[in-house]
Amino acid sequence: MTQTILANAMLVLKDEVIAGSLVMRDGQITDIAPGKTVPEGAVDCGGDLVMPGLIELHTDNLERHIEPRPKVNWPHAAAIIAHDAELCSVGITTVFDALRVGSIGASGGRSDYREYARDLASEILEMRAKDALRISHYIHLRAETCSETLIAELAKFGPEDRVGIVSLMDHTPGERQFRDLSKLRDYVCGKHGLSEAQFDEHVASQIALKERLGAAHEAASVAAARRFGAVLASHDDTTADQVAHSASKGVHFAEFPTTVEAARACRAQGIAIMMGAPNLIRGGSHSGNVAAHELAENDLLDIISSDYVPSALLSSALLLGDLWGDTARGISTVTDAPARAVGLTDRGRLEPGKRADLIRVKRINGAGMLHGVWVKGERVG
């Protein structure tokens, strides 16, 4: 048996933080005891926080490693290893890698919107099978309803592919995240260097795709989630009507609702509310939508995602703990709450019988310095 004892720690439990010790044996948490004593052979944590490993439900971070600069393609194996190591280094022990399904041919003016998800998912799963990754990886399929090939791409996945989440992505210009077309213009033209004429063409083509294929694509995505045994998520709900529609499809959690109205409707429907850590830390949305701190202050925030800044996940949870005056509640937004949202019952809490995925963190001037990462009881960072 392999055993590790972390003692003299501040243990972040589901509803409270206590001084105590924790025993890990053969990949599981086997014992938790209160007190500050340090048994022989134990790791003296010196009062550091010990909490469950962080669980990330939606991150685009892998895409940044695969294409570190526009039109620069990086070898995928190296990119996956670097992505995995980066997440581990910031305390994330379970990740749902977000991959887009639904592409647009070069004739649509978006050569960057080519198909890639099936091949990349296969590479992630192959590296996992070879025990080349430090943390636990699942697949999150971002189903783009404003596309041409969504149904065909979804058909290439099955229940064996560890698809844990399917999110319904509707990026129709003038709706949801980009109701304000000026914000969309700034984003698309800044990222892709489109001219005004090309931007207008992009808007028209996206609207036409939604009108022609949107309903069929949404239905196929909902059916695919059932086939995979995956959780269904909505994305950028803006109105109460949109939330009601999401609920009718069986959505479990809402990614980044854009208004207080939508968040209140989610709460009424029993849909968990997820917001982005960058929004919280920056103090607002880069798209001009509702600020995460406003939802937090109104008890309308359940889950945090790092989105595009992995290191923001721990920082945002600590920030929320300070905002609410409840460290355990803040940490639950990146541990217990995301685990429950996707049905992972074996992790997300410090409890005997749970997976020994956990991290040790020292608070310094409000920030968190990572002092250790364990996955299934093995130290990986």
**Helix (H, G, I), strand (E, B), or coil: what is residue 72?**
strand
Tokens for 113? 């919107």
Q: Which residues share a beta bridge with 136?
A: 94
* Residue ranges in the chain whose pLDDT is less than 50: 107-108
Alpha carbons 339 and 336: distance in angstroms, whole number: 5
Phi-psi region of 130 (alpha: psi -120 to 50; beta: other; left: phi over 0): alpha
Q: How distant, in Å, are the alpha carbons of 29, 53, 63, 93, 156 from that of 354?
A: 6, 11, 31, 14, 33
Reported as half-sphere exposure (CB side, CA atoms, 13 A), residue 225 has a value of 24
Domains of the chain: 1-52+349-381 (2.30.40.10), 54-346 (3.20.20.140)
d(CA 215, CA 92): 36
* Bridge partners, residue 22, by sequence: 6, 32
* Cα–Cα distance measured from residue 137 to residue 62, given in angstroms and rounded to the nearest whole number: 12
SS3 379: strand
Residue 206 half-sphere exposure toward CB, CA atoms < 13 A: 20
The per-residue pLDDT for 287 is 72
CA 258 – CA 182 distance, rounded (Å): 16
Residue 69's pLDDT is 86
β-partners of residue 97 are: 59, 139
34: CB partners within 8 A, 6+ apart: 18, 19, 20
132 C-beta neighbours (distance < 10 Å), count? 12
Enter the pTM of the model.
0.91
Residue 312: helix, strand or coil by DSSP? Answer: helix
**What is the pLDDT at residue 108?**
47
Coil, strand or helix: which one is 199? helix
The structure tokens listed for 231 are 């959780």
* CA–CA separation, 117 and 368 (whole Å): 34
CA 133, CA 66: separation in Å to the nearest integer?
Answer: 16
Contacts of 64-67 with CB under 8 Å at 24 or more apart are 64/308, 66/120
Residue with tokens 């029993």: 270
Give the amino acid at 22: L
- Tokens representing 287? 């798209």
pLDDT tens digit sequence for 193-236: 667 676 666 667 777 778 788 789 999 999 999 999 999 999 99
Strand runs (DSSP E) across 269-332, as ranges? 272-276, 303-305
